[in-house]
Amino acid sequence: MLTRVEDGPAIVACNTCRHSLAARDDGEGMRGGARLVAALRAVQASDPLYAGIAVQEMPCLFACTDFCTLHLRAPDKVGYVLGRFTPDEDSARAILDYAVHYAASEHGRVPYSAWPEGIKGHFITRTPPPGFVAE
């Protein structure tokens, strides 16, 4: 049931997420999560700045009402679940830009002033790493 992946900064995107609150698929019959994964990988491949962030995917993060969700995580850092993204290049770039700041941070906290505009309003939860609680 579990597949081992590299233990580093990663965006784990739900590849079965709804396209939007109103629709499972887009006009071409593709799920929003699959579109978001494709956009993340395309943007990541376009700029070496994003090479240190793994783009991983899995079916269903159980955040269906928040569609186009992902989990941002790294060892010994607070993790975040984000959602309600439009599955496109602009969202993917904002997510990856934030992930770069996140990976460089000491504990996973990125100053609000460094947040890309496209990430604001998309946070759903934060999760402490194993063995820790957040202050």
Percentage of residues in the chain having pLDDT higher than 70: 100
Residue among 87, 92, 4, 106 nearest 45 (CA):
92
Tell which wins on pLDDT, 79 or 6: 79
Summarised one tens digit per residue, pLDDT across range 12-71 is 999 999 988 888 888 898 899 999 999 999 999 999 999 999 999 999 999 988 999 999
CATH topology of domain 10-127: Glutaredoxin (3.40.30)
123-127 vs 70-73, strand pairing mode = unpaired
Residue 128 has pLDDT above 90, yes or no: yes
Which DSSP string corresponds to 21-83?
SS-SB-TTS-BHHHHHHHHHHHHHHH-GGGTTSEEEEES--S-GGG-S-EEEE-TTS-EEEE-
Q: What is the mean pLDDT of the chain?
A: 95
Could you say which DSSP state residue 131 is in? T
